[in-house]
Amino acid sequence: MAQSKSSLHGLFMSLVGFALYSTHDVVIKYLGSFYSPFQILFFSVLFSFPLVTLYIVRNPRTGSLWPHYPSLMLIRVLAISLTGVCAFFAFSVLPLAQTYALLFLTPILITTLSIPFLAERVGLHRWCAILVGFIGVLVVLQPNSTTLNLGHIACLGAVVASATNALITRKIGQREKTSVMLIYPLIGNFLIMGLVLPVVYVPMPLAHLGGIALISLLGFLAMFCITIAFKEASAGIVAPMQYSQIIWAGIFGSLFFNQDLSWPFVGGAMLIVLSGLYIVRREWTKVGSLQPVLSTGTFRPDSGLRPRFLLSKVFRK
């Protein structure tokens, strides 16, 4: 009974966490109509640095910050930066629900790329799920009736970059220190966005700076809830709850951006969601844990501002 209550609480916390992430993305979409994603990311990084300070203060024995795999860490940093820019841009120009539907391709691509890069085996069941997910994308995009634009390309770029990050994290995560995995993406984002900032900078009123601070706060609270969820419920229960975001996308898109959902979109999104759910559950039932690369937590595209490694360490104490 106690285990059942714990799992139920974990399920609830995961739903709250992903609802907060959806709210986080609404703020990104709103600010994206005024500012470049480079500018939003730059200031978001500034507001995220206190979390790094919190980690260092609570973990004085951080040790050397030089990575064991410098080249892979560099690729990971570039992938995370690209994920952030592409995802933020996609949120700003595409309907929320359409953006989520495309981003939900991430676990499908991770599974596919794990074959050549991690020498992992993918059976017939998961190949069928991948095919179903691809069909879902075609239904969502409706190539014959929808004009593809830079937003769609950016969204798919975020999926590829996020999958690359997940694969590298899987490969090096066991050896690299938590502080190294956290700090380098933050510094990389700060430097890359800072180099571009003079070209795209637009003066920001205090209210919009507050909006960027809200992005960091919502990301922090969301990851806090999901960290608790992973402590109290199995990953096989928590990870699929990410798909609840498609519901919030429909609600928020209708309320704030006058975005209606068509029936073809709903059908295609369901195919993508069911495909991703099947892959996650298949990995879970196979060996009792999310293997291999889906075990890195949620498969939400990571811009480097959501310190999943940091939170799991800080709040475990």
Range of the domain at 192: 2-314
Token pair in block for residue 262: 């068509």
Answer whether 136's CB lies under 8 Å from 272's CB.
Answer: yes
Answer whether 247's CB lies under 8 Å from 253's CB.
Answer: no
Q: How many domains does the chain have?
A: 1
Angle at 239 between CA 286 and CA 253, to 5 degrees: 140
Locus of tokens 């209708």: 254
Backbone angles phi, psi at 11, to 5 degrees: -60, -45
Rounded CA separation 58/245 (Å) = 33
Radius of gyration of the chain (CA): 19
Bond from prior residue into 292 cis (ω within 30 degrees of 0): yes
**pLDDT tens per residue across all 317 residues of the chain:** 555 667 778 888 888 999 999 999 999 999 999 999 999 999 988 888 777 667 666 765 556 778 888 999 999 999 999 999 999 999 999 988 889 888 888 877 887 888 787 777 767 777 787 788 778 877 777 766 667 789 999 999 999 999 898 888 888 877 887 778 888 888 899 999 999 999 999 999 999 999 999 998 898 888 888 878 878 877 667 777 788 888 888 889 888 988 877 777 788 888 877 877 777 666 656 544 444 444 444 556 666 555 443 344 433 44
User: How many Å separate Cα 268 from the centre of its chain?
Assistant: 21
